[in-house]
Amino acid sequence: MKRMVSAVVSVGLLAVALVPSGSVGAAGAAAGPGPVGYAYATEWIYSTDASETVEAVATDAAGRVYLGGPAAGGPGTSAKVVHVYDADGAPRATWEMPFTAASTVGGMAVDPAGNVYVSDYIGASIDVYSKTGQFLRSYRMNDDGDHTTSLAGIGIGPNGWIYAASPTADQVVVFDVANNRQGTFGGSGSAPGKLNAPWGLGIAPDGSVVVADRRNHRIEVFTADGDYVTSWGGLNGGPEAFVGEPQEVEVRDDGVVLVVDLSDQVKAFTLAGVYLGSVTATTKSAGTMSEKTGLAFGPGRELYLSGSPAPFQNGVVKYVLAGAGAGIAKVKAPKKGVRVAKKKLKITVKCISATPCSGTVTVRTKKGKPLAKPKAYAIPAGAKKKVKVKLTKKGLKTVRKKRVTKAVVTVTGSSKKIKVRR
């Protein structure tokens, strides 16, 4: 293959919450991974028609969430639709896309400019749209239009280069910014560096390409140039092994790799394959997600899981970082909001678990930008405490611009939307 320019992507993150069910291990990125514990935040429904499954999810730097799947009429239609929401599930836009008949959305990604990339699985193409749904260009797997291969998960480097997994060709194909196909890597087989029906694909902060090698029941890591680095996983072994096939994979901005398999867990690893623990895909109505079709991070490390929050309901569940701590805490805030006093906010935290609570209070804007410096707390079981957090310089400027600033406060086990009054 041709020599490929190193491609690094900064994965957009949003606050999402899942309940930790495993241990947190050692560092996976140069600066060390952050906490992998998440707590349930909210969920919203894409469709109540069982045939209109959410097939992919992506986020942008502004915190918008993009869901892709069939238009009305189900998967047999030749049109697909993208629904756009804000970080809390409020609808913002919808547009339809012409797709190959009976195809599925293989993957989605958003570049730094806000353009949305959508892969057509059977059509073996990647169509690019503006954030308002205007068609911009297309990348094709085959220059001759022969639809004998397919495209699934996709990732974008900061230089605009595109990496896409092809499940039927057992390879990753690479395009440059001018739509030129630069080469492939992988190939059929089970030896290190080979692939068997790859699907999900993520790009790490160091430019590594992380691939869900489904039929080999493992995750494989390659350099940005396509050289094999390592692999890990396995089938039905210890807690780090996968249940069935690893379906989707995404890499957080600190190098933590999250993987979706056929269980109700999302497993976390370092890039070197060190198991960090797992989080349970809890939902409000059904306990855990019955099906997971995609995952994405928001700009504040929120986690979004697309799929079925409940039987016959298709949508997305949002989780927020619960932080490294103990117990389950809740934030109490008056409806009128919390007022800034001497550049600080007094956040009331209550320990609602039967054991003492400890952790860190974080305050961010709805778009995930920090407003205050994190502040540690320790509270006896059943008690509450006012925790003073100091606004950052940028946070102080933000709250001074408006009479009321909407924010999200996160503690161990939960998060709460509040109003900050200047």
Same domain (yes/no): 338, 302: no
Sign of CA dihedral 188, 295, 286, 268: positive
Domain contains 2: no
Taking residue 105's Cβ as centre, other Cβ atoms within 10 Å add up to 26
pLDDT grade, residue 142 (50/70/90)?
low
Specify the CATH number for the domain of residue 101. Answer: 2.120.10.30
Domain contains 231: yes
Whether the predicted model's global pTM rises above the 0.75 cut: no
Round to whole Å and give the CA distance between 41 and 89: 11
Same domain (yes/no): 289, 415: no
**Residue (of 2, 18, 34) closest to 255 by Cα position:** 34
Domain contains 218: yes
Q: What is the pLDDT of residues 45-78, one digit of tens each?
A: 888 887 788 999 999 988 899 999 887 654 445 6
Taking residue 224's Cβ as centre, other Cβ atoms within 10 Å add up to 22
Round to whole Å and give the CA distance between 347 and 385: 8
Full strand arrangement of the beta sheet holding 265-269: 19-20, 275-280, 265-269, 257-260, 248-251
Higher local confidence (pLDDT), 209 or 23: 209
Same domain (yes/no): 24, 172: yes
Predicted pLDDT at 281: 87
Which of 97-111, 120-134, 152-166, 310-324 is predicted least confidently? 310-324
Look at residues 296, 321, 346 and tell me which one is the last residue of a structural domain: 321
Higher local confidence (pLDDT), 144 or 396: 396
Higher local confidence (pLDDT), 148 or 42: 42
Higher local confidence (pLDDT), 75 or 27: 75
Predicted pLDDT at 286: 63
pLDDT grade, residue 380 (50/70/90)?
confident
- CB neighbour class for 98 (10 Å; exposed up to 12, middle 13-18, buried from 19): exposed
Q: What is the pLDDT of residues 302-321, one digit of tens each?
A: 899 999 888 888 899 988 77
Q: How many domains does the chain have?
A: 2
Same domain (yes/no): 195, 283: yes
Look at residues 305, 321, 337 and tell me which one is the last residue of a structural domain: 321
pLDDT grade, residue 23 (50/70/90)?
very low
Predicted pLDDT at 187: 95
pLDDT at 31 over 70: no
Predicted pLDDT at 72: 64
Round to whole Å and give the CA distance between 1 and 173: 10
Domain contains 6: no
Domain contains 1: no
Round to whole Å and give the CA distance between 305 and 291: 10
Count of CA atoms in the C-beta half-sphere (13 A) of 309: 22
Predicted pLDDT at 198: 97
Return the CA Rg of the chain: 21
Domain contains 178: yes
Asked if residues 302 and 16 have their Cβ atoms less than 8 Å apart, the reply is: yes
pLDDT grade, residue 36 (50/70/90)?
low
Domain contains 3: no
Specify the CATH number for the domain of residue 387. Answer: 2.60.40.2550
Same domain (yes/no): 69, 135: yes
Look at residues 290, 321, 352 and tell me which one is the last residue of a structural domain: 321
- CB neighbour class for 217 (10 Å; exposed up to 12, middle 13-18, buried from 19): buried
Same domain (yes/no): 308, 265: yes
SS (H, E, C) 80-109: EEEEEECCCCCEEEEEEEECCCCCCEEEEE
Same domain (yes/no): 50, 186: yes
Count of CA atoms in the C-beta half-sphere (13 A) of 410: 33
Bridge partners of residue 80, in order along the sequence:
70, 97
Q: Tell me which range, 77-91, 204-218, 317-331, 399-413, is most confidently predicted by mean pLDDT.
A: 204-218
Same domain (yes/no): 112, 176: yes
Same domain (yes/no): 288, 336: no
Predicted pLDDT at 218: 96
Residue 313 belongs to what domain range?
Answer: 19-321
Predicted pLDDT at 248: 96
Taking residue 229's Cβ as centre, other Cβ atoms within 10 Å add up to 16
Same domain (yes/no): 278, 338: no
Round to whole Å and give the CA distance between 337 and 405: 9
Measure CA of the first residue to CA of the last residue in the chain; give whole Å.
57
Domain contains 72: yes
Predicted pLDDT at 325: 57
Q: In a 3-state reduction of DSSP, which class is residue 345? A: strand
Asked if residues 300 and 308 have their Cβ atoms less than 8 Å apart, the reply is: no
Same domain (yes/no): 173, 251: yes
Round to whole Å and give the CA distance between 105 and 122: 9
Q: What is the mean pLDDT of the chain?
A: 83
C-alpha to C-alpha distances, 48 to 275, 287, 310, nearest whole angstrom: 36, 18, 10
* Amino acid identity, position 85: Y
Taking residue 42's Cβ as centre, other Cβ atoms within 10 Å add up to 17
pLDDT grade, residue 24 (50/70/90)?
very low
**Residue (of 65, 64, 62, 42) closest to 54 by Cα position:** 65
Same domain (yes/no): 182, 278: yes
